[in-house]
């Protein structure tokens, strides 16, 4: 996120990102070694997205809004979307930008099903 003064909404999102990331680390480190190894792709995904959210100063407002709309743990929700798109990658910030577009698309579909249903 930007390095200037944050709005209250941005501060709340940062705290939530940090909390959800800490919980993810706790959950992973509580696992047996073999299970941690099996979760390597999940760990890589979370760490790439976390770095993007915390250190990228040029995140679009719509991406931050989409992240703030995640229900429950941010990283679990994002990973669920990520698994639905097997061609998605998050190794670079540009790739995370593209993934954020997928997240927005998924959220729009979800809201449409609520409206129709």
What does the pLDDT look like over 42-70, one tens digit per residue?
A: 999 999 999 999 999 999 999 999 999 99
CB atoms within 10 A of CB 25: 14
The confidence score (pLDDT) of residue 8 equals: 87
Dihedral angle, C-alpha 7, 13, 18, 24, nearest 10 °? -170
The confidence score (pLDDT) of residue 116 equals: 65
CB atoms within 10 A of CB 89: 15
Whether 96 has a pLDDT exceeding 70, the answer reads: yes
Query: pLDDT confidence of 7, banded at 50, 70, 90?
Result: confident
Q: How far apart are CA 107 and CA 60, in angstroms?
A: 16
Residue 103 DSSP one-character state: H
Q: Of 102 and 112, which is predicted with more confidence?
A: 102
């Amino acid at each position: 996120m930007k390095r200037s003064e944050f709005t209250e909404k941005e501060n709340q999102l940062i705290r939530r990102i940090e909390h959800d990331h800490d919980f993810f680390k706790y959950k992973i480190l509580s696992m047996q070694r073999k299970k941690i190894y099996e979760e390597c792709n999940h760990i890589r995904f979370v760490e790439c997205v976390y770095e993007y959210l915390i250190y990228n100063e040029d995140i679009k407002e719509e991406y931050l809004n989409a992240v703030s709309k995640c229900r429950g743990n941010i990283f679990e929700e994002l990973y669920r979307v990520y698994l639905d798109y097997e061609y998605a990658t998050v190794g670079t910030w540009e790739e995370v930008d593209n993934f954020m577009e997928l997240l927005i698309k998924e959220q729009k579909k979800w809201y449409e099903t609520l409206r129709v249903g």
